[in-house]
Amino acid sequence: MRITTARNLPGKKVISTDGEEVGNLLDIEFDTKTGKLLYVIIDPNENFAYRNEKLKTDDGKIKIPFDAVMAAKDYVIVDKKFLVTTGQK
Angstrom distance (rounded) from CA 16 to CA 72 = 12
Which residues are within 8 A (CB) of 66 and not within 5 positions of it... i.e. 6 or more apart? 28, 37, 38, 39, 40
pTM (predicted TM-score): 0.79
Q: Are the beta carbons of 79 and 17 closer than 8 angstroms? A: yes
Q: What is the pLDDT of residues 13-64, one digit of tens each?
A: 999 999 989 999 999 999 999 999 999 999 999 887 767 777 888 898 999 9
Domains of the chain: 6-84 (2.30.30.240)
Task: Provide φ and ψ at 59, rounded to 5°.
Answer: -95, 15
